[in-house]
Structure 1
Amino acid sequence: MKIYPSEQIRNVAVLGHGGCGKTTLVEAMAHVAGLTKRQGRVEDGSTISDFDKEEVKRGISINAALVPIEWEDAKLNLLDTPGYFDFVGDVKGAVRVADSALIVISGKSGVEVGTEKAFEYADEMEIPKIVFVTDMDDDKTDLQKILDDLRNLYGKSIAPFQVPIREGEHFVGFVNVPKMEGRRFVKDHVENCPVPDGMDDEIGPVREMILEAVAETDEALMEKYFAGEEFTLEEIQSAIHKGVVDRTLVPVLIGSGMNNTGVQVLMSALVKYMPAPKEEHTSVFGEDPATGEPVEVKCDTEDPATALVFKTIVDPYIGKFSLFRVYSGIIRTDDVLLNVNKENMEKVSHIYVLRGKEQIEVDAIHAGDIGAFAKLVNVGTGDTLCAKERPVRLEGVEYPESLAYKAVIPKTKGDEDKIAAGLQRLMEEDPTIKVVLDNENHQELLYGVGSQHLEIIVSKLEAKFKVGVDLVKPKTPYRETIRKKVQVRGRHKKQSGGHGQYGDVVMEFEPLGDNDTAFVFEEKVFGGSVPRNYFPAVEKGMQESVKKGILAGYPVVGIKATLLDGSYHPVDSSEMAFKLATQIAFKEAFSQASPTLLEPIAKVLVLVPDDYMGDIIGDLNKRRGRVLGMNPLGGKQEIMAEVPMGEMYGYSTDLRSMTQARGSYSMEFQRYEEAPKEVQERVIAERTKEE
C-alpha cells in the first residue's frame, strides 16, 4: 500500500446506533473505491469489517475494525465501530485516535439513542462530525423530521448540504446545495442533472443557512454577504472546511449504503472537509514519565517516533496484533521502541496495515497514520511506544466502568486453569472485561459492560479456547455481628491418659460500634488466673472464630472481646487448649448476644436525563434505597442514593431498559448495616439449603 503524507490522511471513526447501517456504508465505500468486486452484506457475514465469528453469527458489530480506503489521492482510515452499548470499549478506543467522526443515521429509524451517544463521544474528544442519513431509498424515510430532531438537539450547527430529489415519492437523486447542481442515480453511478423545477422553497432555506454559516467564518466574507455579492465555490468549500474543523458546522449528507447512492459524494466530502492529522493535531501533549512535565508531540516525520496502542486483537491461531496510531516520526520494521507504560524496550519485527482481517505487511508507518504491530508480547491497549531519546506518555483510552457481573462456574471440573488463561487473553483484547476473585464466597466474578457483553465473553471462551462456563448470580458478602453485651465462660477439658488438655476463660463480648473491624481484643485479668503467655492463644482463638458466624456462616465483624478471668492447670494447659476454650466462649456468647446479619450498603450515583428522574427514584425505592439528594448537571440529574448491594444485581440492564440507554451509574461500597428481618430470614434459609 502506498505511503501517504499526513496531509492526505483522514482518520474517521464511523459511529451510530446499533443496526443503523454503519458496516453496510463502510462496505459500500470500499466497493465504490474498488477494493471489492462484489459488495458484502451483513446478513451473509461477508463484509470486510465484521469478520469475527461472533459478528458473523449474530449479524452485529462487536469489535472496531479498520478499513483503509484510497480515494482522491487521500487515504481514509475508517474505523467501523460497534453500535450496541455493551461494546462501547472499542468505540472509545476508535474515537481516541480518530481526528473526525462520521455519524450514520438510519432514515427509517431516525435519530436514536446511539446517535446521541455518538455526538457525545465525538464532543468528549473534541473532534468534528459529518452526518450521513442512509436508507434514503426507503419511502418511509422522513428527512425533515430527522433534521428537525438534530436541530432541536444540536442547534444551528446542523447544516444539510443536500436536498433529495423525489419522483413519485421515490428517492432518485439530490441537489448539491453548495454547488447548486443536481445529481441523479443511474444504476451504479451518479450523473449530473439540472436542478428540478419547483424545488426553490426547499432549497432556498438550506442554501441561505449554508451561506450564513460561510459568512460567519471570516469578516471579509461577512462583508461580501451583506453586500449581496455571490460567494465563489472555492470560498464556500474553504469556509465549510473551516467550520467543520472548528466544530461550528455539522454537514448532513444523504444516500443509501445498501444501494451505493451518495457514497462517492460522501467520500469526497470526507477528503474535502474533514481535518488531516497535521491540521487537526498540529501537536498533542503527553507527559514526561520521569517528571510529569508536559511534552509536545508534533505530527512531523522528522521528530522522534511516538505511537499509541488503541486496540489489541488476540487470536489463538493468527497471534496478537496491536493496532496503533503514530503521532510523530516514522515507525519502521526493526525499530527498538520504549514502552513507557511497561518500562521495557520492544523490537518491532513486523508492521501491518489491517483491512478487516486482511493483513498487508509494510516497512513503515508515518506520522498521522494507523498500523498494527504483530506479536509484541508485553504491549497492551493504552500503552505508548516511543523513541528512547524522547520518552513521552500519551493519554490512554478512557473506558466506562464495567458494572454488570456474574459468577463463573466451569462446566467441566478441572477446567479452572484453562478458563483463567482464556479470560486473561480476552482481557488483553477487551479492557472492559474484569475478573475479580471473591475469596470469601469462593467465587470468580466476571465483570462486563452489560448482559450481552458477558454472554459473548462466554461464547468466545468456548469458540476460541474450547472451554465451557456457566454464569450464575453471585453471592452477596453479608456479615454477622452482635447487638448486646454478654459475659460467658468457655472451658475446654479433655483427659485421654497422660497429659490432658485444659483451658478455661471468662470473657465479655460487646458491640464494638465499628463494622469495618472484625474484632478488638483486650485483657483485664487480675491475679494471674490466666498466665500472660496464654493471651496470644486467646486472641488467636478469636481470629479463627470470627471467620464464620453461627447465623449463616458469614464472617463476623464489630465485636469487642475482653478476657476477664479463667483458670489453668500447671500440666494440662496449653496454647491449643486456651484457643479452643476461646472458641467455645465465642459460640456461647454469640448465641446469647442478639446476633444479627449485616448487609453491604453501596453509594450509588445515577446520571439520567430529567425526563427519567421519577422512574429512577421509584426503582431505587423498590430496591430499598435511600435517595440522599439530586444534583443538576447540564440537562441531566445526578441522583445520589444508598442502596443495599444485594439489590443492585442486574441494575446495569434495568437502568438501560428504563432510560433507553441514556442513563449511567457508578457504585462503590460504603459500609455494613443491619439487614431487615425478612432479608435475614431469607438469607439464612438460602444458606441452610446450600449446606
Structure 2
Amino acid sequence: MRVYQTNEIKNIALLGSAGCGKTTLAESMLFEAGVIKRRGSVENKNTLSDYFPVELEYGYSVFPTVFHVEWNNKKLNIIDCPGSDDFVGGAITSLNVTDEAVIVINGQYGPEVGTQNNFRYTEKLQKPVIFLINQLDSDKCDFDTVISSMKEIYGSKCVQIQYPITTGPNFNALIDVLLMKKYSWSPEGGAPIVEDIPAEEMDKAMELHKELVEAAAENDETLMEKFFDSDTLSEDEMREGIRKGLVTRNIFPVFCVCAGKDMGVQRLMEFLGNVVPFVNEMPKLHNTRGEEVAPDATGPTSLYFFKTGMEPHIGEVSYFKVMSGSIKPGEDLTNSDRGSKERIGQIYAGAGANRITVEQLNAGDIGCTVKLKDVKTGNTLNGKGCDWKFNFISYPNSKYSRAIKTLNSQDTEKLMAAMLKMRQEDPTWVVEQSKELRQVIVHGQGEFHLRTLKWRLENNEKLQVKFYDPKIPYRETITKKAKAEYRHKKQSGGAGQFGEVHLIIEPYAEGMPDPTTYNFNGQEFKMNIKGKEVVNLEWGGKLVFINSVVGGAIDARFMPAILKGVLDCMEHGPLTGSYARDVRVIVYDGKMHPVDSNELSFMLAARHAFSDAFKNAGPKILEPIYDLEVYVPADFMGEVMSDLQGRRAMIVGMDSEAGYQKLLAKVPLKELNNYSISLSSITGGRASFITKFASYELVPGNIQTELISEHETELANANEE
C-alpha cells in the first residue's frame, strides 16, 4: 500500500442502533473497494468486523473495528462501532479520533433511541453527519415516514441526496438528486445500471434537487450569489457547498442503501471519497496544555493510542492516530504519560481481523502496532523534542454495577489482572476494590455489557466468577446534639491504661458559628475554644473537631489520639457500619493519669464516648440519590413512570427532545440496581438512560429499621463464626 498524505486521508465512524446493519454495510464497503473477494454475513459468523469469540457467540458487535479502503487514490479509515448502548464506549472512542460520522438508520423503524444518542455525541463533538437509510428491502420499511420523522427531529438541515422508487422486497432502484440519475440493480445486487431519470419521477427529483442546491449554496457566499443569479449550481459546486456544510454541521445529507444486497454502497463510497472533508479540513484538536495541534506531516511526531485489542494468537494490538508528524517502523519514541521509551516495530493499516503492513503513516492517519512494552489506552508517544499529551475522550458514567468474586478464592489476583487488562479494550468497564463495602465491584453500561465481561472471563481467561448485588454505600449522620463521657481504665501489672473523655456532638452544616454554650437537662456547659480542626472526609462531608478543654484536664498532646478515635468510629458507623459524616465534636473535659495515660487510652475512650453520643443524637441513615434522565418513546411513557414510582423515584420534570420523551427523576441508588434490565424489558430495548450522583438524603424510617436489623444480624453471624 502506498503512503498517503494528510490531504488524501479521511477518517469515518459508522454509527447506528443495534440491528441497523452496520457490520453488513462494512462488508459491502470492503467488497466494493476490493479488500475482500466475498462478502461475509453476521449469520454465518464470517465478517471481517465481528471476529472476536464473544462477538461470534452473541451475534453482536462488542468492540469497534478499524478497517481501511483505498478509493480513487484516497485512503478512507473507517471504524465500525457497536450499536448496542451497552457498548457506547466504542462509539465515543471512535468519534473522537475520526472526522465524520455515517449514522445508519434501520428503514424498518426510522430514528431510534440509539440513533438519538449517537447524534447527541456528534453534536457534542461537532462532527459532520451523513445519514444512511438501510434495509430498504424490508416489507416493514416506509421510507416517507422515516424521512418525515428525520425532518421533524433534525430539521431542514436533513437533506435528501437519494430516494427509493419503491421499498420492500421489490426494492431495486433509487433516484440520486445530486447526479440526477437513476440507479437500479438486478435482484442479486452488484454493479448498478445508471440511467436517466424516468419521466414519472422527474417532478419529484427536480423538487428535491432544488432543495439540495439551495442547501449547498447556503454554505458559501460565492455559491449563494451564483444560485441567486442562475437558480442552479454545477455538480462540482454542489459538492463544494455540501463539503463546507458538512464541516459546519449545516447540512446532513441522506443516502439510501440495501447493504445486504450491496445496492447503493458503491455510490455511497463515491460520495465519501469525493465530497466528505479530509483530515486537514477539519477543526484542529488540542493537547492537554490547550495548545492547538495541526495534523502536519512535517511537525513533531506524536501518536495517540485510543484502543487496545487483545487478539487471539497475537496478544495486544495497539491502535493509534498520528496526531502530528509521521511514523516509520523502527523509530524510538517516548511515552509522555509513563516516561518509558518505546521502539515501534512493524506498523499496520487496520483491516478488521487482518492487518496490512505499511512503510509509513502520516499526520491524521490511523494505524496499529503490536508488542509494545508499556503503552496503555490513552497514552501518547512522542518523538524527540516533543512532550505533548492528549486527553480528549470523555466517557459516560456507569449505569449498571455488580459485585464480583471468583468461585475459587485463590483466583482473586488473577481476576483483578484480567479485568484491568480488559479495561484497556473498553474503558467503560470500571473496576473498583471498595474498601468501604469490602467488595470488588465492576461497573458498566448495562446488564449485557457485564454479561459479556463475565463470558470472556469464563471462556477466555478460564476464571469461574459469580455476580451478586453490590452493597449500597450508605452514610450515617445525626439530627440533634448529645453528650457522653467514657473512662478507659485497664490495669494488668506494670503501667496501666487510663483515659477519660467528655464530649458533645451535634449535626454540622457549612457556615455554622462556633459554639459558645450548651444546655443538657438544665445544666449549662460553656465552651472555651482552644483549637479547631476541620477534616474533609474522604467519603464526603466533614468532621469539625474542637478542643474546649480547660484547666489542663487533658494534655494537648493527647488531642490527636482523641481525634483519631473519633475518626475511627466515623469510619465504622454505629448503626450499620457505614461511614458517618457532617458531625461537630467538642471535647470539653476529661481526666488523665500522670503514669497510665497514653495515646491508646485516649483513642479508645474517644471511640466509646463518640459511639455512645452518636446513638443518642437522633442518628439517621443517608442513602445516595442519583439524577436520572430517561429517553423513551412516547408510547411507553406511562409504564416507565409507573415503574419509577415503584422505585421510590421523585419525578422532577418531563420534556420532549428530538422525537422522544425525556423524563427527569431523582432515584435512590438501591432502586437503580436492576433498572437497565427493567427499562429494556418495558420498552423492548427502545429506551436509554443516564445517571449522575446528586446527593445523600435521609432514608425512610421503615427502611432504616430494616437496615439496622440486617446489620445486627450480620454482626451476630460474624461473631458466631
**Normalising TM by the smaller chain, what interval?**
0.7 to 0.9
8 Å CA contact 1:403, 1:449 repeated in 2: yes
- In structure 1, what is the Cα distance between the partners aligned to 2:592 and 2:229? 108
Match of 1:431 in 2: 427
- In structure 2, what is the Cα distance between the partners aligned to 1:527 and 1:305? 67
- In structure 1, what is the Cα distance between the partners aligned to 2:612 and 2:161? 82
Pick one of 289, 294, 297 that aligns with 2:291. Answer: 294
Residue deviations 1:509-561 (CA, integer Å, cap 9, x gap): 43253593457364646586x78877766665545544444433344552636
Match of 1:115 in 2: 115
**Residue 382, structure 1, aligned to residue 378, structure 2:** yes
Match of 1:678 in 2: 702
Pick one of 451, 456, 460 that aligns with 1:460. Answer: 456
The Cα of 1:51 is off from its aligned counterpart by 0.9
The 5-angstrom pairing of residues 332-343 of structure 1 reads: 332-343=328-339
- In structure 2, what is the Cα distance between the partners aligned to 1:631 and 1:343? 49
8 Å CA contact 2:135, 2:257 repeated in 1: yes
Pick one of 293, 308, 313 that aligns with 1:312. Answer: 308
8 Å CA contact 2:12, 2:98 repeated in 1: yes
Match of 2:506 in 1: 511
Match of 1:276 in 2: 278
Structure 2 residues not aligned, in runs of 5+: 510-539
Please tell me the root mean square deviation across aligned C-alpha atoms, in Å. Answer: 3.8
Percent identity (aligned): 32
The Cα of 1:101 is off from its aligned counterpart by 1.6
Local SS of the residue matching 1:77: strand
- The amino acid that maps onto 1:419 is L
8 Å CA contact 1:458, 1:469 repeated in 2: yes
CA shift in 2, pair 1:622/1:307, >3 Å: same
Local SS of the residue matching 1:199: helix
**Residue 405, structure 1, aligned to residue 401, structure 2:** yes
More divergent stretch after superposition (82-91 vs 340-349): 340-349
The Cα of 1:421 is off from its aligned counterpart by 0.5
CA shift in 2, pair 1:370/1:674, >3 Å: closer
Residue deviations 1:269-317 (CA, integer Å, cap 9, x gap): 2111111223x23x72434x6xx362442x3433332332221213474
CA shift in 2, pair 1:229/1:524, >3 Å: closer
CA shift in 2, pair 1:436/1:387, >3 Å: same
Residue deviations 1:634-653 (CA, integer Å, cap 9, x gap): 99999887654444444566
**Residue 58, structure 1, aligned to residue 53, structure 2:** no
- The amino acid that maps onto 1:388 is K
The Cα of 1:169 is off from its aligned counterpart by 7.4
**Residue 441, structure 1, aligned to residue 431, structure 2:** no
8 Å CA contact 1:135, 1:258 repeated in 2: yes
- The amino acid that maps onto 1:67 is F
Match of 1:137 in 2: 137
CA shift in 2, pair 1:304/1:542, >3 Å: closer
Residue deviations 1:443-481 (CA, integer Å, cap 9, x gap): 122121222212222222223322232222221233445
- The amino acid that maps onto 1:505 is E
The 5-angstrom pairing of residues 510-549 of structure 1 reads: 510-513=505-508, 516-517=541-542, 520=545, 522=547, 524=549, 541-549=565-573
Match of 1:688 in 2: 712
- The amino acid that maps onto 1:170 is N
CA shift in 2, pair 1:118/1:594, >3 Å: closer
- In structure 1, what is the Cα distance between the partners aligned to 2:24 and 2:301? 35
Local SS of the residue matching 1:604: strand
The Cα of 1:62 is off from its aligned counterpart by 1.0
The Cα of 1:227 is off from its aligned counterpart by 5.7
The Cα of 1:30 is off from its aligned counterpart by 1.4
Pick one of 581, 598, 615 that aligns with 2:621. Answer: 598
CA shift in 2, pair 1:416/1:269, >3 Å: same
Residue deviations 1:616-662 (CA, integer Å, cap 9, x gap): 88877655566778999999999887654444444566677679445
- In structure 1, what is the Cα distance between the partners aligned to 2:579 and 2:122? 47
- Between the two proteins, the alignment pairs up a number of residues equal to 679
TM-score by length of 2: 0.83
The Cα of 1:355 is off from its aligned counterpart by 0.8
The Cα of 1:46 is off from its aligned counterpart by 0.7
Match of 1:153 in 2: 153
Pick one of 244, 264, 267 that aligns with 2:266. Answer: 264
Local SS of the residue matching 2:442: strand
8 Å CA contact 2:302, 2:380 repeated in 1: yes
8 Å CA contact 1:604, 1:643 repeated in 2: yes
TM-score by length of 1: 0.86
CA shift in 2, pair 1:203/1:442, >3 Å: same
CA shift in 2, pair 1:455/1:394, >3 Å: same
More divergent stretch after superposition (230-239 vs 22-31): 230-239
- The amino acid that maps onto 1:560 is V
Pick one of 342, 358, 361 that aligns with 2:357. Answer: 361
- In structure 2, what is the Cα distance between the partners aligned to 1:417 and 1:385? 30
Local SS of the residue matching 2:145: helix
The Cα of 1:344 is off from its aligned counterpart by 4.2
More divergent stretch after superposition (312-321 vs 78-87): 312-321
- In structure 2, what is the Cα distance between the partners aligned to 1:535 and 1:396? 47
- In structure 2, what is the Cα distance between the partners aligned to 1:179 and 1:118? 29
8 Å CA contact 2:633, 2:687 repeated in 1: no
- In structure 1, what is the Cα distance between the partners aligned to 2:569 and 2:75? 68
8 Å CA contact 1:605, 1:638 repeated in 2: no
The Cα of 1:399 is off from its aligned counterpart by 1.7
8 Å CA contact 1:478, 1:597 repeated in 2: no
**Residue 562, structure 1, aligned to residue 587, structure 2:** yes
8 Å CA contact 1:66, 1:356 repeated in 2: yes
- In structure 1, what is the Cα distance between the partners aligned to 2:178 and 2:491? 103
CA shift in 2, pair 1:357/1:512, >3 Å: same
- The amino acid that maps onto 1:564 is D
The Cα of 1:343 is off from its aligned counterpart by 4.2
More divergent stretch after superposition (354-363 vs 191-200): 191-200
**Residue 348, structure 1, aligned to residue 348, structure 2:** no
The Cα of 1:615 is off from its aligned counterpart by 8.4
- The amino acid that maps onto 1:346 is E
Structure 1 residues not aligned, in runs of 5+: none
Match of 1:17 in 2: 17
CA shift in 2, pair 1:674/1:329, >3 Å: closer
**Residue 323, structure 1, aligned to residue 322, structure 2:** no
The Cα of 1:170 is off from its aligned counterpart by 1.6
Residue deviations 1:581-609 (CA, integer Å, cap 9, x gap): 55555565555x25523214446364869
More divergent stretch after superposition (395-404 vs 210-219): 210-219
- In structure 2, what is the Cα distance between the partners aligned to 1:536 and 1:495? 23
8 Å CA contact 1:108, 1:135 repeated in 2: yes
CA shift in 2, pair 1:665/1:338, >3 Å: same
- In structure 2, what is the Cα distance between the partners aligned to 1:525 and 1:301? 73
- The amino acid that maps onto 2:2 is K
Residue deviations 1:331-381 (CA, integer Å, cap 9, x gap): 111222233333444321221122112122222112232111222233233
8 Å CA contact 1:655, 1:664 repeated in 2: no
Match of 1:183 in 2: 183
- In structure 2, what is the Cα distance between the partners aligned to 1:544 and 1:242? 63
The Cα of 1:28 is off from its aligned counterpart by 1.3
8 Å CA contact 2:345, 2:370 repeated in 1: yes
- The amino acid that maps onto 1:429 is E
